[in-house]
Structure 1
Amino acid sequence: MASPTVGDVMTTEVIAVCEGTLVSEVARTMDGRRISALPVTDDRQRVVGVVSQADLLPRRMGSPLGWLSQTAWLRKASGRVAGDVMTSPATTITGDATVAEAARRMVRHGVKRLPVVDSSGRLAGIVSRVDLLRVFIRADDELRAEIEREVFERALGLPPGAVRAEVSDGEVTLTGEVDSESLIPVAESLTREVTGVVDVVSRLTRPLGDTHQAGTATSGLPHERRRGRP
Structure 2
Amino acid sequence: MMYCRIKDVMTQEVVRADGATPFKQVARLLLDNRISGLPVVDDEEKVVGVISETDLLQHQVQQVEGYGHRHVRRPKLTRSARTAAVKARARTADRLMTRPAITATPDHYVTEAAQIMREHGVDRLPVVDDKHRLVGIVTRGDLLRVFLRTDEEIRQDVTRRVFLGLDVPRYVVDVGVDGGVVTLRGHLERREDAELAAWIAGHVDGVVGVTSRLTHRRTGTRARSGVGASGHM
Name the TM-score, length of structure 2 as normaliser.
0.83
CA distance in 2, matches of 1:152, 1:111: 37
Structure 1 counterpart of 2:219: 211
2:58 is matched with which residue? Answer: 58
Cα distance change of structure 1 residues 173 and 118 upon mapping to structure 2, 3 Å threshold: same
Distance (Å, rounded) in 2 between the aligned partners of 1:93 and 1:221:
45
The DSSP-based 3-state class of the residue aligned with 1:197 is: coil
CA distance in 1, matches of 2:155, 2:142: 23
% of aligned pairs identical?
42
CA distance in 2, matches of 1:113, 1:58: 18
1-structure distance, mates of 2:32, 2:157 = 42
- Cα distance between partner residues in 2 of 1:154 and 1:104: 25
Whether the 8 Å CA contact 1:22–1:81 is kept in 2: the answer is yes
Q: Tell whether 2:114 aligns with 1:111.
A: no
1:120 maps onto 2:148 in alignment:
no
Encode CA deviations 1:64-103: one digit per residue, 9 max, x unaligned. 7xxx933122211111110101011111101110011011
Equivalent positions of 1:69-218 (< 5 A) are 69-148=80-159, 151-152=162-163, 156-160=167-171, 162-207=172-217, 210-211=218-219
Deviation, structure 1 residue 169: 2.3
TM-score, normalising length: structure 1: 0.84
CA contact (8 A) 1:3 1:194 kept: no
Relative to structure 1, the CA distance from residue 163 to residue 86 in structure 2 (aligned partners, 3 Å threshold; closer, same or farther) is same
**Alpha-carbon shift at residue 201 of structure 1 (Å):** 2.3
Which stretch of structure 1 is more off in the superposition, 130-139 or 112-121?
130-139
Once residues 58 and 210 of structure 2 are traced to their aligned partners in structure 1, the CA distance between those partners, rounded to angstroms, is: 46
Tell me the amino acid that sits aligned with residue 20 of structure 2: G
CA distance 1:83–1:154, change in 2 (3 Å): closer
1:203 CA displacement: 2.3
Q: Cα offset for 1:42?
A: 1.4
Determine which structure has the larger helix proportion and give its number.
2
Deviation at residue 20 of structure 1 after TM alignment: 1.2
Aligned residues: 219
1:142-189 Cα distance to aligned partner (Å, 9 max, x none): 4234434552489532352x3233323222222221233231122123
What's the RMSD between the two structures over aligned residues? 2.5
